[in-house]
Amino acid sequence: MKIYISLQESESLIFQKILIINKERPQLITRRRDIYSVLLGILPEKIVEQDDKLIIFSSIVDFFEIPEKEEILFLNHYNVPYGKIKTIDRDVRDENPNLLSTLEEKQEQELPAYYLPIRNSLLNMYKIVVEGAVPEKVGLETINSFSGLSEFRKRFLKEILKTGFFPLERITTPEFRPDQFFRFTWWVKFLQDSILLSHKDEMGEEEYSANKKWFAGFMDPQDSKKISASLDKRPKFYEKDWSFFFGYYIAAVNFEIANQEDPLAYYESYIKKIEFSLGEEVKLWALFFHSLFDEDLISLYFINGVQEQVLKIEKLGYNFDKTDIEEELEVEYVQLSKDQQISQYIELTEGEVKTAPTLVSPNELKSIFENNLFENNLQNIGLEIPSGFTKVAVPNTISMVNGIFRMEVRSLKPSDVSFYFLPESLLPDHLEGMKIKLKPLSKLIDKKKKVLVGFLKGKNTVLLNTYGQIINSVKERIFEKVIIVWTINRDQEEVQSTDFDQERKQIEDRFQQLFGLETILLIKNKRNFKDEEIKRNLKNLLADYKSNQIEVVDENFDINQARWLVSRNAEFFIEENSESQYYFFQNNL
C-alpha cells in the first residue's frame, strides 16, 4: 500500500515525530492527488491502526519521496538527512485551502500533548547507552521503567511539561534571586506537599519541622559538601523515587550552565563532586529532564539497525499519557559491528553511495589535501620573483632583473629545491648546464585542481597572496573559483550589522581582485561553537568536487578545518575510536 501525505503533514511528521491520519480519507492517501504529493517509504504493517485512525511514527519512515524542487526545503528547513530523501520529477499540486484547514484541525486535536518531549528525552538516554557512556543495564532499566511508570512520577512530569519549562515557585526574598532558585523552591514545595505531608501523622511536630528544613541543604547548588551531607541524612520515605527527583533537581538548577557545555559531561562531573552512590542512575535522570527542553533533539536520527528500538521508544512516549498501544515494549541494546555502523551511518547521512569511503583517522585529515605549497613541502620549493612581487611564503627565491641573476636558498638541502620559473622567463637559457632544478610555474599546482580553498584569520595572508601572484602569473586558467572561510570572534548583533556587511564585502572584493576569479567569502563565527552551518555551506559549494580537485591553502588550516572539508561528501569517513556511529544529528540551523 502506498501512502501519500501533504507537505504540511510532512512537516508535522518531521517536527512532531508522529502523524495521525483519520481513516475517513483512505482514497486520498493511497495515490497522489491534490495536495498529497509526498510518498512515504514505509512498511504498512508497521502502521498502528486504532479505531478511526492510523498512527505513523517517524521511526518507521525509511524515506520521503518528494518533488525535486522541495529537496532544499526538506534538507535545510526540515533538517531531514540525505539518506531519507528521494526526489522525483513532478510538481506539487495546487493546494485546496479548505481541505488543508480541516486536515490541520483534526491533526492538532489528535496529537498527544506530552509525546514529543518524552520521546526526545528517552531517545537521548538511549543514545548515551549505545555510546557506552553509562552502564547498559542501568540505562535500559531506566528507559524501560516507562513501561510501568507510576502515577506519581507521571503527575510530576505533567506538572513540569504543562509549563513548557522548569516550573517556578515565586517566594518573597530579601535579595534578588535568579530563576534557578525559584525552580529549587518549586521542587521543594512539590516534594513536601506530595510526600512529606502524607507522612506527617507518622512523626512528631519537631521531626516534621526538621524534615521541612532538611531541604535547606540543597539551596546552593554549587555547595557540594552541604548537598553531600544532606544526602546522607535524607528521610527514608524519599528513598523509592530519590534518583528520579534528585536528577530533576540537578537539571533544573544547572540547565543553563550545562547547556553551554556537553550536558552529560557536566552532570557527570557535578555528581562526582557530591560523591552520591547512585550516580549513574541520577546522571541518567538529570540528562532526561535536561533533554525535555533540548530543541536540537528533533534533529537526532538513528541508523537503520536500531530503528526497531527507536520505534519502541516512540511508542513508550505515546503511551505516557495513553494506554492505546498494548504490546510488550522492552527496549534492548543492539550490538552492531563497526563496519555495520559505518555503512549504515553513511547510508543515513549521504544516501546510497557507489564507492565505499576511505577510512581515515583524525591525524590523517590534513594529509588528504597536501600539495606542493603545504608547510612541510615549502623547503623544497623555490619561485622566480619578478619585479613588483610582494613578500612570498616560500623560503627559496630566484630572480633575473636587468640582467642580474640572484638566488636566495634557505633550504637545508639546496639540491632538493625545485625552482619554478615564470612564463617567458630567461632563466632556463641563462642557467643551462647548471645543476639547478627548474620547472615551469604552471607545474606547481596540479592540473586536476579545480577550486582553491583558503582560511582567513587575523592578518596572516602571506600564502593566500602568494597564490594570487601565482594565478596572475600563469597564462592558463587554473581554478574555476575561490572559496575563503573567514574566522571571526564577534557578537551576533555586530555580525548582522550594516558595518560588518560592508567589511565582509570589502574583503571579498579584495580577494576577487587578487585572484581575478569568482571568490566566495564564508563566515565562521567562533562564538557559535557548533560547526553545522559552515559544514553545510562548504558542502553546498564543494559536494561535487573530489578531494584531489581541491587546492587547500595551508595557512590557518588545521584538523578542524580539514574535518569541515571531509564532511562535504562520502569520499572519506573519519574513524573515531571513541565514538559510535549509531546516530547522527542533522542540524542545519
Q: pLDDT tens for residues 113-134?
A: 899 999 999 999 999 999 888 9
Give the model confidence (pLDDT) of 350-375 as tens digits.
Answer: 887 777 788 899 999 999 999 999 99
Contacts 24+ apart (CB under 8 A), 473-477: 473/386, 473/422, 473/423, 473/441, 474/423, 474/441, 474/442, 475/423, 475/442, 476/442
Rounded-to-integer distance, Cα 163 and Cα 113, Å: 12
pLDDT band at 29; cut points 50, 70, 90 = low
Give the model confidence (pLDDT) of 94-117 as tens digits.
Answer: 455 554 455 544 544 467 789 999
pLDDT band at 324; cut points 50, 70, 90 = low
The pLDDT assigned to 94 comes to 44
Q: What is the mean pLDDT of residues 295-318?
A: 93
369: its cell numbers: 589535501
The pLDDT assigned to 321 comes to 78
Check: CB of residue 588 under 8 Å from CB of residue 308: no
pLDDT more than 70, % of the chain? 92
pLDDT more than 90, % of the chain? 47
The pLDDT assigned to 274 comes to 85
Q: What is the mean pLDDT of residues 261-272?
A: 90
The pLDDT assigned to 577 comes to 56
Whether the predicted pLDDT of 28 surpasses 50: no
Q: Bigger pLDDT: 89 or 470? A: 470
Whether the predicted pLDDT of 536 surpasses 80: yes
Whether the predicted pLDDT of 381 surpasses 70: yes
The pLDDT assigned to 120 comes to 95
Whether the predicted pLDDT of 74 surpasses 80: yes
Q: Is 500 exposed, middle or buried (0-12, 13-18, 19+ CB in 10 A)?
A: middle
The pLDDT assigned to 411 comes to 82
175 Cβ contact partners less than 8 Å away, ≥ 6 residues apart: none
Q: Bigger pLDDT: 234 or 368? A: 368
The pLDDT assigned to 50 comes to 80
91 Cβ contact partners less than 8 Å away, ≥ 6 residues apart: 37, 67, 69
Whether the predicted pLDDT of 488 surpasses 60: yes
Q: What is the mean pLDDT of residues 314-334?
A: 84
Rounded-to-integer distance, Cα 477 and Cα 300, Å: 44
> Does an H or E element contain 48, and which?
strand 48-50
Q: What is the mean pLDDT of residues 472-486?
A: 91
Q: Bigger pLDDT: 454 or 276? A: 454
Give the model confidence (pLDDT) of 392-423 as tens digits.
Answer: 888 899 888 777 888 888 887 778 899 999 98
Whether the predicted pLDDT of 40 surpasses 80: yes
581: its cell numbers: 556511529
Out of 205-209, 224-228, 499-503, the most confident range is 499-503
Q: Bigger pLDDT: 390 or 264? A: 264
Mean pLDDT of the chain: 86
Q: Bigger pLDDT: 434 or 453? A: 453
Rounded-to-integer distance, Cα 561 and Cα 365, Å: 9
Whether the predicted pLDDT of 252 surpasses 90: yes
